């Protein structure tokens, strides 16, 4: 029995390692335009992206959402916000444009009365920075610092 158990362990370890690498490859491969999907709009060296990252952490968006690159943002109460530039709709309602994303972050209750996402008192400048973060492609360093 021993060699069989050993074999199974090695196999599942291999599966785990290879799926991690597949994940890394998928994350790094998504920089071009595929099937008409938009490219990430800003680079992570952009100042507003960094500000947005800090604001998203400070406002606790990660207490409901899982957001790549934001430390501790791994909640499952709300839709995950990864690769947001690829979404067609925001909350299934609004076309995914910068202005609409800013509107949603500031005032989800106006867009969709009664939604489980509360108005958090985010200013327009703050919402624009958060949108810049959500529209950028997280770097590997950001992902590893979660």
| Nearer CB in complex with ligand HEC: 30/85 | 85
- Rule CB under 6 A: which of 62-81 touch ligand HEC? 63-65, 77-79, 81
Residue of the chain from 4, 5, 116, 144 that contacts ligand HEC (CB under 6 A)? 116
19 binds ligand HEC (CB under 6 A): no
The token duo for 11 is 């196999």
143 binds ligand HEC (CB under 6 A): no
CB 101 within 8 A of CB 109: no
The token duo for 130 is 């958060």
122 binds ligand HEC (CB under 6 A): yes
Site string for ligand HEC, 26-65 (x = CB under 6 A): ------------------------------x--xxx-xxx
User: Quick one: 143 exposed, middle or buried, by C-beta within 10 A (0-12, 13-18, 19+)?
Assistant: middle
The token duo for 16 is 């785990």
CB 133 within 8 A of CB 46: no
Taking the C-alpha atoms of residue 61 and residue 65, their distance in angstroms, rounded to an integer, is: 6
Binding footprint of ligand HEC on the chain (CB under 6 A): 56, 59-61, 63-65, 77-79, 81, 87, 90-92, 104-105, 112, 115-118, 120, 122, 130
């Amino acid at each position: 029995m021993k060699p069989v158990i050993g074999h199974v362990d090695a196999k599942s370890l291999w599966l785990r390692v290879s799926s991690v690498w597949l994940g890394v490859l998928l994350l790094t491969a998504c920089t071009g335009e595929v099937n008409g999907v938009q490219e990430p709009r800003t680079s992570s060296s952009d100042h507003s992206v960094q500000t947005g990252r800090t604001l998203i952490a400070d406002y606790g968006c990660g207490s409901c959402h899982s957001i790549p690159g934001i430390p501790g943002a791994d909640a499952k109460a709300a839709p995950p916000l990864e690769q947001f530039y690829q979404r067609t709709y925001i909350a299934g309602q609004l076309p995914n444009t910068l202005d609409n994303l800013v509107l949603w972050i500031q005032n989800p209750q106006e867009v969709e009365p009664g939604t489980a996402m509360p108005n958090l008192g985010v200013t327009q400048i703050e919402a624009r920075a958060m949108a810049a973060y959500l529209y950028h492609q997280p770097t590997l360093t950001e992902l590893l610092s979660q």
